[in-house]
Homo-oligomer: A and B are copies of this chain.
Amino acid sequence: MNSLGNIIVGQSGGPTAVINSSLAGVLSAGLKLGYDKIYAMQNGIEGLLKGNYFELTDYIKSDSDIELLQRTPSSYLGSCRFKLPEPVLGNEIYTALFDFFKKENITAMFYIGGNDSMDTVNKLTTYAEMIDSTVKFIGVPKTIDNDLVVTDHTPGFGSAAKFVATVTKELVRDSLVYDLPCVTIIEIMGRDAGWLTGASALSKGDDCEGPDMVFLPEVPFDYEYVKNKVAELQKTKKALVIALSEGIRLADGRYVCELGGAGAKDAFGHVMLSAAGQVVANMLKKDLGIKTRAVELNTLQRCASHCASLTDMREAFNVGEAAVKAAYDGLTGKMVLLKRVSDIPYNCVTDTADVKNIANLAKEVKRSMINENNDHVTQEFIDYIQPLIMGEVSQFTVNGLPKHIKRGNN
């Protein structure tokens, strides 16, 4: 039997709570399918170009390590934001990379990332064709923003959505504690796509009022409408909760977050940019004379692995495994995707699509998933994302805290 040669895997772009589960999937399938060595680049392509790579099996050595890796937030391999130049024959970056692949007998490379990472996979595939290289390139999707096209959803989104919905539920309860007119504004990530902001609406149920309004970046934000609706709603319900995306824009295209900083400088001469939630909170406070509070969910949305979705973690693992299988089957220039084959019961399988049709495109929330008033999501939206947050991940707890894995410390 011929050797399958070696493979290499990298992580790129912003992390998610389960990006390491995809890495675990690549490792697991690489071992099962019989590749010789499984290399990992440190800090993505950028690190590899500096010669930073290592054998993953030197650090992830056991089934227990693989389980811990799946429960560890952030990118275990480190990440980068590095855009490859256009592939031109003889370009020194491509030459260096393909020389490396040859030297280390790399037969396939897997890149776990979002839009920009798929651009990298696409360009490497193009260059490989130009030089008749047989190295396979497969993209493994991840992003909390859920904005990749072709795939039903992206690994990482479900866990971020579960965190957003969980804490929205807690913040809604908290908001009702005083018998005073107040508005709590929850600012959620997603500059151009409102998937994650919409996830706040999952909090609504028998035991939770849910957010009273939800504003996505896909539709214009009308402050006058919001102000009037707050005043109207507060006739019967004193404490309101508004979920909004960091990327909401006015009808004239200006970001709401730009409004806070118009000309304002702090004591050190820095121009101050307020977050969108804080801007709206300030405006409502001034115009309605009510107490307001802005809560920014911030980086936790991409790293709160203590609140990960089991469905998401498993799917992230599956796309990692499927990527290796795709290369093993001779495919290249593909991204693994999730295809929903049934809603009841929820079933998603992996498939592949040409990465050139995916890179640099973004998927927004569909019009039919936003209500007519542009101030909430519809049942169609809820039905779409509900399955993605199902299931809890059992943590390995040490000293009262979830255990992670760190290079060289296991």
A residues contacting B by CB (< 8 A) are 14-15, 42-43, 46-47, 72-75, 78-81, 162, 165-167, 169-171, 173-174, 176-179, 184, 202-203, 205-208, 259-268, 270, 272, 274, 279, 282-283, 286, 293, 295-296, 298-300, 302-307, 309, 386, 389-392, 395, 397-406, 409-410
Contact = CB atoms under 8 A, between A and B. Distances in A.
Copies in the complex: 2
A80 B179 CA distance: 7
Contacts of A78: 176-179
Contact of A400 (B46, B72, B279, B391): B391
B295 A298 contact: yes
A286 B271 CA distance: 11
A87 to B, nearest CB: 24
Contact of A259 (B14, B79, B266, B392): B266
Given A78-B179, A170-B306, A177-B75, A400 B43 contact: no
Nearest to A76: B173
Nearest to A406: B207
A400 B282 contact: no
A404 B295 contact: no
A167 B300 contact: yes
A299 B306 contact: no
A177 to B, nearest CB: 5
Nearest to A52: B179
A170 B304 contact: yes
Nearest to A179: B43
A187 to B, nearest CB: 10
Contact of A174 (B179, B296, B303): B303
A401 to B, nearest CB: 6
Contact of A392 (B47, B72, B397): B397
A169 B304 CA distance: 10
B270 A282 contact: yes
Contact of A176 (B74, B295, B403): B74
A300 B164 CA distance: 12
Most chain B beta-carbon neighbours within 10 Å: one of A170, A207, A293: A170
Contact of A272 (B266, B305, B404): B266
Given A15-B174, A266-B259, A307-B306, A404 B208 contact: yes
Contacts of A206: 406, 409
B398 A205 contact: yes
Contact of A401 (B47, B165, B260, B266): B165
Contacts of A267: 259-264
A282 B274 CA distance: 13
